[in-house]
Structure 1
Amino acid sequence: MKRKVIIVLLVLATLAVGFLAMEGLSSLKKAPKKNLDKIKLPVVKVKVVDYDNLSSPIVEKGRLASNLEVNLSSEVAGRIVDTGVPLKVGQKFKKGQLLIRIYEEDAKMDLRAQKSRFLNKLAENLPDIKVDYADNFDVWMAFFNAINLEESIPELPKLKSDQEKVFMASRNVLGDYYAIKSEEVKLNKRKIYAPFNGSYVEVNAQIGSVAGMGSKLAGIIESNNLELQVPIESNEISWLHLNEKVDILDSRGDVILTGKLVRKSDFVDQGTQSISVFVKLENTTEKELFQGQFLTARFNGKMIANVMEIPRNAVFSSNKVFVVEGDILKEKVINVVKRNENTLVFNGLKEGELLVVEPPVKATENMQVQIKK
Structure 2
Amino acid sequence: MRKNILSIIGIILIGVSIFIAKKLIDNKNQPKPVIPKVVKTVIVDTVQNTTVPIVIPANGNLTAKQRVELYSEVQGIFKTGKKLFKAGTKYNRGETLISLDAAEYYASVQSAKSNLYNSIATIMPDLRLDFPDVFQKWQNYLNSFDLNKTTPKLPEISNEKENYFITGRGIVSAYYNVKNLEQRLAKYRITAPFSGILTEALVTEGTLVRNGQKLGEFINPETYEMEVAISKSFADVLKEGENVSLNNLEKTKTYQGTVSRVNGSIDATTQTITVFIEVAHSDLKEGMYLEANLNAQKVDNAIQIDRNLLLDSQEIYVVNDSVLQVLPAKPIHFSDTKVILKDIPNGTVILNKPVPGAYAGMKVQTLTQKKDSIK
TM-score (norm 2): 0.71
Q: Is the aligned partner of 1:56 residue 2:53?
A: yes
Residue deviations 1:134-160 (CA, integer Å, cap 9, x gap): 333333233223322211222223333
* One-letter amino acid of the counterpart of residue 112, structure 1: Q
Query: For the residues of structure 1 that align with 2:336 and 2:252, how far apart are their CA atoms?
Result: 13
Question: Which of residues 332, 338, 350 in structure 2 aligns to 1:337?
Answer: 332
Query: For the residues of structure 2 that align with 1:226 and 1:160, how far apart are their CA atoms?
Result: 52
Checking the alignment, whether the CA contact within 8 Å between 2:54 and 2:299 is kept in structure 1 is no
Q: How does 1:232-243 map to 2 (within 5 A)?
A: 232-243=230-241
Question: Which of residues 160, 163, 167 in structure 2 aligns to 1:162?
Answer: 160
Checking the alignment, whether the CA contact within 8 Å between 1:51 and 1:347 is kept in structure 2 is no
Query: For the residues of structure 1 that align with 2:328 and 2:83, how far apart are their CA atoms?
Result: 65
Superposed displacement of residue 187, structure 1? 1.0
> 3-state SS of the aligned residue for 1:277?
strand
Residue deviations 1:110-152 (CA, integer Å, cap 9, x gap): 1122223333333433333322223333332332233222112
Aligned residue pair count: 331
Q: CA RMSD in A?
A: 3.8
* One-letter amino acid of the counterpart of residue 58, structure 1: V
Query: For the residues of structure 1 that align with 2:301 and 2:158, how far apart are their CA atoms?
Result: 83
Checking the alignment, whether the CA contact within 8 Å between 1:243 and 1:260 is kept in structure 2 is yes
Q: Which residue of 1 aligns with 2:354?
A: 358
In the superposition, relative to structure 1, how do residues 371 and 219 fare at CA in structure 2: closer, same or farther (>3 Å)? Answer: farther
Checking the alignment, whether the CA contact within 8 Å between 2:91 and 2:192 is kept in structure 1 is yes
* One-letter amino acid of the counterpart of residue 358, structure 1: P
* One-letter amino acid of the counterpart of residue 342, structure 1: T
* One-letter amino acid of the counterpart of residue 127, structure 1: P
Q: Relative to total residues, which structure has the larger helix share, 1 or 2?
A: 1
Q: Which residue of 2 aligns with 1:276?
A: 274
Query: For the residues of structure 2 that align with 1:273 and 1:333, how far apart are their CA atoms?
Result: 31
Q: Which residue of 2 aligns with 1:198?
A: 196
Which structure 1 segments of 5+ residues have no match? 1-32
Question: Which of residues 119, 122, 130 in structure 1 aligns to 2:120?
Answer: 122
Q: Which residue of 2 aligns with 1:312?
A: 307
* One-letter amino acid of the counterpart of residue 351, structure 2: L
Q: Which residue of 1 aligns with 2:171?
A: 173
Query: For the residues of structure 1 that align with 2:361 and 2:189, how far apart are their CA atoms?
Result: 79
* One-letter amino acid of the counterpart of residue 357, structure 1: K
Checking the alignment, whether the CA contact within 8 Å between 2:72 and 2:214 is kept in structure 1 is yes
Residue deviations 1:208-265 (CA, integer Å, cap 9, x gap): 34333344433332222323434433334444333333344565476543x3333222
Checking the alignment, whether the CA contact within 8 Å between 1:59 and 1:341 is kept in structure 2 is no
Query: For the residues of structure 2 that align with 1:159 and 1:237, how far apart are their CA atoms?
Result: 57
Superposed displacement of residue 52, structure 1? 0.9
Q: How does 1:165-314 map to 2 (within 5 A)?
A: 165-249=163-247, 252=251, 256-257=255-256, 259-269=257-267, 274-281=272-279, 284=280, 287-314=282-309
> 3-state SS of the aligned residue for 1:70?
strand
Superposed displacement of residue 291, structure 1? 2.1
Query: For the residues of structure 2 that align with 1:305 and 1:160, how far apart are their CA atoms?
Result: 73
In the superposition, relative to structure 1, how do residues 270 and 369 fare at CA in structure 2: closer, same or farther (>3 Å)? Answer: farther
Query: For the residues of structure 1 that align with 2:363 and 2:204, how far apart are their CA atoms?
Result: 72
Checking the alignment, whether the CA contact within 8 Å between 2:56 and 2:296 is kept in structure 1 is no
Query: For the residues of structure 1 that align with 2:239 and 2:156, how far apart are their CA atoms?
Result: 56
Residue deviations 1:47-93 (CA, integer Å, cap 9, x gap): 35625123225152443332233333323232332333443344332
Superposed displacement of residue 274, structure 1? 4.0
Query: For the residues of structure 1 that align with 2:320 and 2:292, how far apart are their CA atoms?
Result: 40
> 3-state SS of the aligned residue for 1:196?
coil
* One-letter amino acid of the counterpart of residue 277, structure 2: V
TM-score (norm 1): 0.71
Query: For the residues of structure 2 that align with 1:271 and 1:299, how far apart are their CA atoms?
Result: 22
* One-letter amino acid of the counterpart of residue 305, structure 1: D
Q: Which residue of 2 aligns with 1:30?
A: none
Checking the alignment, whether the CA contact within 8 Å between 2:303 and 2:341 is kept in structure 1 is yes
Checking the alignment, whether the CA contact within 8 Å between 2:44 and 2:366 is kept in structure 1 is no
> 3-state SS of the aligned residue for 1:76?
coil
Q: How does 1:141-152 map to 2 (within 5 A)?
A: 141-152=139-150
> 3-state SS of the aligned residue for 1:265?
strand
Residue deviations 1:153-189 (CA, integer Å, cap 9, x gap): 2222333343333333333222222211211111112
* One-letter amino acid of the counterpart of residue 273, structure 2: I
Most deviating of 64-73 and 228-237: 228-237
Superposed displacement of residue 333, structure 1? 6.3
* One-letter amino acid of the counterpart of residue 70, structure 1: V
